[in-house]
Amino acid sequence: MIQTFSSTIRRKEMDAVLTCMVDEKIGPGEINARFIQSVKEFFGCAGALAFRSPDTALKIALDACGIEKGSKIMLSALAPGWQFFSIKEAGYEPLVLDVNDSTCCVTSEKVEEGISNGGRLLILHEPLGILPDVENIISLGVPVIEDVSQCAGAMIVEKSSEQQVGEQKDNQEVKGKKAGCFGVFSICSLEEHDVITAGGGAILIAANRRDWSVLKQISEMIPKIKMLPDINAALALVQIKEYKRNETVRKEIFNLYNHSIMAGRNKTFVRDFEYGSVAYSFPVVLNSGVKDVKQYVMKKDIEVVLAFEDSVIGTFEKIKENLLEDEKNVYDYSSCKTAKNLYLRTVLFPLYPRLLKSQVEKISKVLGTLP
Protein backbone atom coordinates (compact mmCIF):
# COMPACT_ATOMS: atom_id res chain seq x y z
CA MET A 1 0.00 0.00 0.00
CA ILE A 2 1.35 3.43 -0.98
CA GLN A 3 0.62 5.62 2.06
CA THR A 4 -0.63 9.18 1.67
CA PHE A 5 2.15 10.56 3.85
CA SER A 6 5.68 9.45 4.56
CA SER A 7 8.47 11.32 6.28
CA THR A 8 11.40 12.88 4.42
CA ILE A 9 13.72 11.72 7.19
CA ARG A 10 16.98 10.23 5.89
CA ARG A 11 20.31 9.18 7.38
CA LYS A 12 21.39 12.81 7.92
CA GLU A 13 18.44 13.50 10.20
CA MET A 14 18.98 10.24 12.08
CA ASP A 15 22.67 11.02 12.62
CA ALA A 16 21.85 14.53 13.90
CA VAL A 17 19.37 13.18 16.45
CA LEU A 18 21.75 10.38 17.50
CA THR A 19 24.61 12.87 18.00
CA CYS A 20 22.28 14.95 20.14
CA MET A 21 21.52 11.93 22.34
CA VAL A 22 25.16 10.87 22.60
CA ASP A 23 26.16 14.40 23.63
CA GLU A 24 23.24 14.45 26.09
CA LYS A 25 21.92 17.65 24.50
CA ILE A 26 18.24 16.82 24.72
CA GLY A 27 16.51 19.84 26.27
CA PRO A 28 16.36 23.38 24.79
CA GLY A 29 19.86 24.76 24.29
CA GLU A 30 22.65 25.25 21.74
CA ILE A 31 21.02 23.34 18.87
CA ASN A 32 17.75 25.23 19.34
CA ALA A 33 19.78 28.45 18.90
CA ARG A 34 21.48 27.09 15.75
CA PHE A 35 18.11 26.08 14.37
CA ILE A 36 16.75 29.58 14.96
CA GLN A 37 19.69 31.05 13.02
CA SER A 38 18.89 28.76 10.07
CA VAL A 39 15.21 29.79 10.29
CA LYS A 40 16.20 33.47 10.04
CA GLU A 41 18.31 32.74 6.97
CA PHE A 42 15.63 30.56 5.34
CA PHE A 43 12.71 32.97 5.79
CA GLY A 44 14.68 36.23 5.73
CA CYS A 45 13.09 37.34 9.01
CA ALA A 46 14.38 39.51 11.86
CA GLY A 47 13.92 36.93 14.59
CA ALA A 48 12.21 33.72 15.62
CA LEU A 49 11.49 31.42 18.55
CA ALA A 50 10.99 27.64 18.51
CA PHE A 51 8.41 26.04 20.81
CA ARG A 52 7.27 22.57 21.78
CA SER A 53 3.81 23.05 20.25
CA PRO A 54 1.94 25.11 17.60
CA ASP A 55 -0.66 25.96 20.26
CA THR A 56 1.99 27.73 22.36
CA ALA A 57 3.34 29.61 19.33
CA LEU A 58 -0.11 30.89 18.32
CA LYS A 59 -1.10 32.00 21.82
CA ILE A 60 2.16 33.91 22.27
CA ALA A 61 1.69 35.54 18.84
CA LEU A 62 -1.83 36.65 19.81
CA ASP A 63 -0.49 38.04 23.09
CA ALA A 64 2.30 39.90 21.27
CA CYS A 65 -0.22 41.56 18.92
CA GLY A 66 -1.82 43.28 21.91
CA ILE A 67 -5.42 42.72 20.77
CA GLU A 68 -8.00 43.29 23.51
CA LYS A 69 -9.38 40.09 25.07
CA GLY A 70 -12.84 39.22 23.79
CA SER A 71 -12.06 40.60 20.31
CA LYS A 72 -13.02 38.64 17.21
CA ILE A 73 -10.16 36.75 15.57
CA MET A 74 -10.75 35.71 11.95
CA LEU A 75 -9.62 32.37 10.57
CA SER A 76 -10.36 30.16 7.58
CA ALA A 77 -12.98 27.41 7.84
CA LEU A 78 -10.29 25.13 6.37
CA ALA A 79 -7.58 26.11 8.89
CA PRO A 80 -6.50 23.41 11.38
CA GLY A 81 -9.25 22.83 13.93
CA TRP A 82 -6.92 23.27 16.91
CA GLN A 83 -6.56 26.98 16.01
CA PHE A 84 -10.26 27.61 16.71
CA PHE A 85 -9.91 26.20 20.21
CA SER A 86 -6.58 27.98 20.86
CA ILE A 87 -8.27 31.29 20.04
CA LYS A 88 -11.09 30.54 22.51
CA GLU A 89 -8.67 29.39 25.21
CA ALA A 90 -6.65 32.60 24.77
CA GLY A 91 -9.77 34.65 25.57
CA TYR A 92 -10.86 35.70 22.07
CA GLU A 93 -13.88 34.99 19.89
CA PRO A 94 -13.22 33.01 16.68
CA LEU A 95 -14.84 34.38 13.51
CA VAL A 96 -14.81 31.67 10.81
CA LEU A 97 -14.47 32.79 7.16
CA ASP A 98 -15.44 30.97 3.97
CA VAL A 99 -12.92 30.32 1.18
CA ASN A 100 -12.52 30.56 -2.59
CA ASP A 101 -13.46 27.33 -4.39
CA SER A 102 -10.59 27.56 -6.91
CA THR A 103 -7.79 28.00 -4.36
CA CYS A 104 -9.24 26.83 -0.99
CA CYS A 105 -7.84 30.08 0.47
CA VAL A 106 -9.57 33.00 2.14
CA THR A 107 -9.70 36.08 -0.10
CA SER A 108 -9.44 39.81 0.57
CA GLU A 109 -13.21 40.03 -0.07
CA LYS A 110 -13.93 37.46 2.64
CA VAL A 111 -11.57 39.23 5.04
CA GLU A 112 -13.34 42.54 4.34
CA GLU A 113 -16.64 40.86 5.24
CA GLY A 114 -15.03 39.60 8.43
CA ILE A 115 -13.77 43.08 9.32
CA SER A 116 -17.27 44.51 8.78
CA ASN A 117 -18.52 41.84 11.22
CA GLY A 118 -16.08 42.94 13.89
CA GLY A 119 -12.91 40.99 13.01
CA ARG A 120 -9.85 42.60 14.59
CA LEU A 121 -7.08 40.21 13.51
CA LEU A 122 -6.65 37.50 10.88
CA ILE A 123 -4.87 34.17 11.22
CA LEU A 124 -4.05 33.55 7.57
CA HIS A 125 -3.85 29.83 6.89
CA GLU A 126 -1.88 29.14 3.70
CA PRO A 127 -3.22 25.68 2.82
CA LEU A 128 -1.79 22.74 0.88
CA GLY A 129 1.24 24.70 -0.31
CA ILE A 130 -0.84 27.52 -1.85
CA LEU A 131 -0.02 31.15 -1.09
CA PRO A 132 -3.22 33.27 -0.89
CA ASP A 133 -3.62 36.80 -2.26
CA VAL A 134 -1.56 37.89 0.71
CA GLU A 135 -0.57 41.38 -0.49
CA ASN A 136 -4.18 42.50 -1.00
CA ILE A 137 -5.15 40.98 2.34
CA ILE A 138 -2.33 42.81 4.15
CA SER A 139 -3.38 46.08 2.46
CA LEU A 140 -6.72 45.96 4.32
CA GLY A 141 -4.87 47.16 7.41
CA VAL A 142 -5.91 44.44 9.84
CA PRO A 143 -3.07 42.68 11.73
CA VAL A 144 -2.22 39.28 10.22
CA ILE A 145 -0.60 36.20 11.74
CA GLU A 146 0.42 33.89 8.91
CA ASP A 147 0.30 30.11 9.22
CA VAL A 148 2.96 28.84 6.81
CA SER A 149 3.10 25.25 8.07
CA GLN A 150 2.08 23.86 4.65
CA CYS A 151 3.52 26.71 2.59
CA ALA A 152 7.04 27.30 3.93
CA GLY A 153 9.34 28.30 1.08
CA ALA A 154 6.71 29.83 -1.21
CA MET A 155 7.36 33.43 -2.22
CA ILE A 156 6.14 36.40 -4.18
CA VAL A 157 8.88 37.25 -6.67
CA GLU A 158 10.14 40.84 -6.87
CA LYS A 159 9.06 42.62 -10.06
CA SER A 160 12.67 43.11 -11.11
CA SER A 161 13.15 39.33 -10.99
CA GLU A 162 9.97 38.30 -12.80
CA GLN A 163 11.50 38.48 -16.28
CA GLN A 164 14.36 36.22 -15.15
CA VAL A 165 12.16 33.46 -13.71
CA GLY A 166 11.71 31.58 -16.98
CA GLU A 167 15.47 31.58 -17.58
CA GLN A 168 16.49 30.70 -14.04
CA LYS A 169 19.60 28.54 -13.64
CA ASP A 170 20.57 26.35 -10.71
CA ASN A 171 23.28 28.72 -9.49
CA GLN A 172 21.03 31.78 -9.61
CA GLU A 173 18.64 32.85 -6.88
CA VAL A 174 15.31 34.51 -7.55
CA LYS A 175 14.67 37.42 -5.19
CA GLY A 176 11.33 37.78 -3.48
CA LYS A 177 9.44 37.93 -0.21
CA LYS A 178 8.80 34.54 1.35
CA ALA A 179 5.66 33.29 3.03
CA GLY A 180 6.12 34.06 6.72
CA CYS A 181 7.35 37.62 6.16
CA PHE A 182 4.07 39.33 5.25
CA GLY A 183 2.25 39.18 8.58
CA VAL A 184 3.05 40.85 11.88
CA PHE A 185 4.00 37.37 13.08
CA SER A 186 3.94 33.92 11.50
CA ILE A 187 3.73 30.41 12.84
CA CYS A 188 5.24 27.38 11.14
CA SER A 189 4.21 24.06 12.65
CA LEU A 190 6.87 21.34 12.74
CA GLU A 191 4.53 18.38 13.10
CA GLU A 192 4.87 15.04 11.32
CA HIS A 193 3.14 15.97 8.04
CA ASP A 194 4.27 19.59 7.73
CA VAL A 195 6.67 20.84 5.03
CA ILE A 196 9.46 21.04 7.63
CA THR A 197 9.22 18.56 10.49
CA ALA A 198 10.88 18.26 13.88
CA GLY A 199 8.59 15.42 14.91
CA GLY A 200 6.60 18.08 16.78
CA GLY A 201 6.81 21.76 17.70
CA ALA A 202 6.51 25.10 15.94
CA ILE A 203 8.40 28.25 14.97
CA LEU A 204 7.12 31.75 15.75
CA ILE A 205 8.53 34.28 13.29
CA ALA A 206 8.81 38.07 13.46
CA ALA A 207 9.47 39.54 10.01
CA ASN A 208 10.84 42.95 11.04
CA ARG A 209 12.96 44.33 13.88
CA ARG A 210 10.17 46.29 15.56
CA ASP A 211 7.93 43.22 15.91
CA TRP A 212 10.92 41.10 16.90
CA SER A 213 11.72 43.48 19.77
CA VAL A 214 8.16 43.00 21.08
CA LEU A 215 8.44 39.23 20.76
CA LYS A 216 11.89 39.18 22.35
CA GLN A 217 10.61 41.03 25.42
CA ILE A 218 7.79 38.51 25.83
CA SER A 219 10.18 35.59 25.29
CA GLU A 220 12.17 36.52 28.38
CA MET A 221 9.15 35.54 30.51
CA ILE A 222 8.44 32.23 28.73
CA PRO A 223 9.32 29.12 30.80
CA LYS A 224 12.11 27.03 29.27
CA ILE A 225 9.84 23.98 29.34
CA LYS A 226 7.80 25.52 26.47
CA MET A 227 10.82 25.85 24.15
CA LEU A 228 11.70 23.29 21.46
CA PRO A 229 14.12 20.63 22.80
CA ASP A 230 17.48 20.24 21.08
CA ILE A 231 16.63 16.68 20.05
CA ASN A 232 13.74 18.02 17.93
CA ALA A 233 15.71 21.07 16.79
CA ALA A 234 18.49 18.78 15.48
CA LEU A 235 15.99 17.05 13.19
CA ALA A 236 14.46 20.34 12.01
CA LEU A 237 17.90 21.86 11.39
CA VAL A 238 18.72 19.15 8.84
CA GLN A 239 15.23 19.44 7.34
CA ILE A 240 15.77 23.12 6.56
CA LYS A 241 19.17 22.38 5.02
CA GLU A 242 17.59 19.64 2.87
CA TYR A 243 14.51 21.71 1.98
CA LYS A 244 15.61 22.71 -1.53
CA ARG A 245 16.49 19.14 -2.47
CA ASN A 246 13.20 17.77 -1.13
CA GLU A 247 11.09 20.50 -2.73
CA THR A 248 12.74 20.00 -6.14
CA VAL A 249 11.73 16.33 -6.10
CA ARG A 250 8.23 17.12 -4.80
CA LYS A 251 7.64 19.67 -7.57
CA GLU A 252 8.79 17.26 -10.26
CA ILE A 253 6.26 14.71 -9.00
CA PHE A 254 3.57 17.40 -8.64
CA ASN A 255 3.99 18.44 -12.28
CA LEU A 256 3.60 14.83 -13.44
CA TYR A 257 0.43 14.43 -11.37
CA ASN A 258 -0.95 17.74 -12.59
CA HIS A 259 -0.50 16.68 -16.21
CA SER A 260 -2.38 13.44 -15.48
CA ILE A 261 -5.28 15.06 -13.62
CA MET A 262 -5.98 17.36 -16.57
CA ALA A 263 -6.79 14.28 -18.69
CA GLY A 264 -9.54 13.16 -16.31
CA ARG A 265 -12.85 14.37 -14.85
CA ASN A 266 -11.48 15.86 -11.64
CA LYS A 267 -9.31 18.89 -10.83
CA THR A 268 -6.78 20.31 -8.43
CA PHE A 269 -6.56 23.84 -7.02
CA VAL A 270 -5.33 26.87 -8.93
CA ARG A 271 -1.82 27.96 -7.92
CA ASP A 272 1.34 29.71 -9.10
CA PHE A 273 3.45 26.75 -10.21
CA GLU A 274 6.76 28.66 -10.18
CA TYR A 275 7.40 30.24 -6.79
CA GLY A 276 4.01 31.16 -5.29
CA SER A 277 3.39 27.64 -4.05
CA VAL A 278 5.14 24.54 -2.70
CA ALA A 279 4.31 20.90 -3.36
CA TYR A 280 2.49 19.83 -0.19
CA SER A 281 0.83 16.52 -1.10
CA PHE A 282 -1.47 16.49 -4.17
CA PRO A 283 -5.06 17.68 -3.59
CA VAL A 284 -7.84 16.50 -5.91
CA VAL A 285 -11.32 18.02 -5.90
CA LEU A 286 -13.60 15.16 -6.90
CA ASN A 287 -16.59 15.11 -9.21
CA SER A 288 -17.72 11.75 -7.85
CA GLY A 289 -18.18 10.58 -4.27
CA VAL A 290 -15.18 10.15 -1.97
CA LYS A 291 -16.27 6.61 -1.07
CA ASP A 292 -16.20 5.51 -4.73
CA VAL A 293 -12.75 7.03 -5.28
CA LYS A 294 -11.34 5.50 -2.10
CA GLN A 295 -12.54 2.07 -3.19
CA TYR A 296 -11.10 2.57 -6.69
CA VAL A 297 -7.63 3.61 -5.50
CA MET A 298 -7.60 1.00 -2.73
CA LYS A 299 -7.77 -1.66 -5.44
CA LYS A 300 -4.58 -0.10 -6.85
CA ASP A 301 -2.92 -0.21 -3.40
CA ILE A 302 -2.96 3.58 -3.02
CA GLU A 303 -4.16 5.35 0.12
CA VAL A 304 -5.96 8.71 -0.05
CA VAL A 305 -7.33 10.80 2.83
CA LEU A 306 -9.67 13.75 3.16
CA ALA A 307 -7.59 16.91 2.73
CA PHE A 308 -9.48 18.90 5.35
CA GLU A 309 -10.44 16.18 7.82
CA ASP A 310 -8.81 18.01 10.75
CA SER A 311 -9.85 21.51 9.65
CA VAL A 312 -12.15 23.82 11.61
CA ILE A 313 -15.14 22.67 9.58
CA GLY A 314 -14.02 19.03 9.74
CA THR A 315 -13.74 19.25 13.53
CA PHE A 316 -17.22 20.82 13.76
CA GLU A 317 -18.63 17.97 11.68
CA LYS A 318 -17.19 15.44 14.12
CA ILE A 319 -18.52 17.09 17.28
CA LYS A 320 -21.87 18.48 16.11
CA GLU A 321 -23.85 15.41 17.18
CA ASN A 322 -22.65 15.85 20.78
CA LEU A 323 -23.30 19.60 21.09
CA LEU A 324 -25.82 21.00 23.55
CA GLU A 325 -28.46 23.31 22.10
CA ASP A 326 -26.84 26.48 23.51
CA GLU A 327 -23.44 25.46 22.04
CA LYS A 328 -24.64 25.15 18.45
CA ASN A 329 -24.39 28.90 17.71
CA VAL A 330 -20.71 28.89 18.73
CA TYR A 331 -19.96 26.19 16.17
CA ASP A 332 -22.25 27.44 13.41
CA TYR A 333 -20.62 27.41 9.97
CA SER A 334 -23.72 27.69 7.79
CA SER A 335 -22.21 30.71 6.02
CA CYS A 336 -19.18 28.65 4.90
CA LYS A 337 -20.85 26.72 2.09
CA THR A 338 -17.78 26.60 -0.18
CA ALA A 339 -15.55 25.32 2.61
CA LYS A 340 -18.08 22.60 3.49
CA ASN A 341 -18.24 21.55 -0.16
CA LEU A 342 -14.43 21.32 -0.41
CA TYR A 343 -14.24 19.47 2.92
CA LEU A 344 -16.54 16.78 1.53
CA ARG A 345 -14.94 16.51 -1.94
CA THR A 346 -11.16 17.04 -1.59
CA VAL A 347 -8.70 14.20 -1.09
CA LEU A 348 -4.90 14.04 -0.92
CA PHE A 349 -2.79 11.68 -3.02
CA PRO A 350 0.71 10.53 -1.98
CA LEU A 351 3.48 12.99 -2.88
CA TYR A 352 6.86 12.84 -1.16
CA PRO A 353 10.53 12.41 -2.14
CA ARG A 354 10.77 8.77 -1.05
CA LEU A 355 8.27 7.57 -3.65
CA LEU A 356 9.79 5.18 -6.17
CA LYS A 357 9.63 6.02 -9.87
CA SER A 358 7.29 3.06 -10.42
CA GLN A 359 4.98 4.32 -7.64
CA VAL A 360 4.87 7.83 -9.12
CA GLU A 361 4.00 6.39 -12.54
CA LYS A 362 1.30 4.22 -10.99
CA ILE A 363 -0.30 7.16 -9.13
CA SER A 364 -0.11 9.35 -12.26
CA LYS A 365 -1.98 6.71 -14.25
CA VAL A 366 -4.66 6.38 -11.56
CA LEU A 367 -5.14 10.16 -11.40
CA GLY A 368 -6.04 10.23 -15.09
CA THR A 369 -8.59 7.43 -14.75
CA LEU A 370 -10.41 8.37 -11.53
CA PRO A 371 -14.21 7.93 -11.58
Do 356 and 260 fall within a single domain? yes
Rounded to whole angstroms, how far apart are CA atoms 361 and 371? Answer: 18
Domain annotation covers residue 283: yes
Q: What is the pTM of this model?
A: 0.92
pLDDT, position 92 = 97
Do 32 and 152 fall within a single domain? yes
pLDDT, position 164 = 52
- Residue 311 identity: S
Domain annotation covers residue 5: no
Domain annotation covers residue 325: yes
- Residue 67 identity: I
Pick from 194, 213, 242: which residue ends a domain?
242
Distances from the Cα of 246 to the Cαs of 9, 10, 143, in angstroms? 10, 11, 32
Instruction: Give per-residue pLDDT as tens, 308-323.
Output: 999 999 999 888 878 7
Do 252 and 231 fall within a single domain? no
Do 228 and 338 fall within a single domain? no
Q: What is the CATH number of the domain that holds 327?
A: 3.90.1150.10
Do 102 and 188 fall within a single domain? yes
Do 197 and 105 fall within a single domain? yes
Do 221 and 356 fall within a single domain? no
Mean pLDDT of 161-171: 51
pLDDT, position 323 = 77
Do 291 and 144 fall within a single domain? no
> Picking from 7-21, 199-213, 232-246, which range would have the lowest pLDDT averaged per residue?
7-21
pLDDT, position 327 = 73
Do 144 and 21 fall within a single domain? yes
Q: Give the DSSP letter of residue 225.
A: G
Does position 189 have pLDDT exceeding 80, yes or no? yes
pLDDT, position 274 = 78
> How many other C-beta atoms are found inside a 10 Å radius of the C-beta of residue 361?
13
Q: What is the mean pLDDT of the chain?
A: 91
More confident residue, 122 or 199: 122
Question: H or E stretch including 82?
Answer: helix 81-89
Which residues does residue 47 pair with via DSSP β-bridges, in sequence order? 206
More confident residue, 172 or 124: 124
Does position 107 have pLDDT exceeding 80, yes or no? yes
Do 141 and 266 fall within a single domain? no
Distances from the Cα of 308 to the Cαs of 235, 253, 257, 317, in angstroms? 27, 22, 20, 11
**pLDDT band (50, 70, 90) for residue 111:** very high
Contact 107, 132 (CB under 8 A): yes
Give the domain range for residue 306.
244-367
Mean pLDDT of 35-49: 97
Does position 174 have pLDDT exceeding 70, yes or no? yes
> Picking from 144-148, 169-173, 274-278, 316-320, which range would have the lowest pLDDT averaged per residue?
169-173
Percent pLDDT > 70 in the chain is: 94
Domain annotation covers residue 291: yes
Residue 125 sits at φ, ψ, to 5 deg, of: -75, 130
Do 238 and 250 fall within a single domain? no
Domain annotation covers residue 3: no
Does position 170 have pLDDT exceeding 60, yes or no? no
pLDDT, position 356 = 96
DSSP string, 228-255: PPHHHHHHHHHHHHTHHHHHHHHHHHHH
**pLDDT band (50, 70, 90) for residue 162:** low
Do 222 and 303 fall within a single domain? no
Instruction: Give per-residue pLDDT as tens, 218-267.
Output: 999 999 999 999 999 999 999 999 999 999 999 999 999 999 999 989 99
Rounded to whole angstroms, how far apart are CA atoms 31 and 195? Answer: 20
**pLDDT band (50, 70, 90) for residue 22:** low
Domain count, the chain: 2
DSSP string, 166-198: GG--TT----EEETTSSSSEEEEE-STTSSS--
Does position 339 have pLDDT exceeding 90, yes or no? yes
- Residue 11 identity: R
Contact 142, 121 (CB under 8 A): yes
Dihedral sign of CA atoms 321, 343, 288, 356 in order: negative
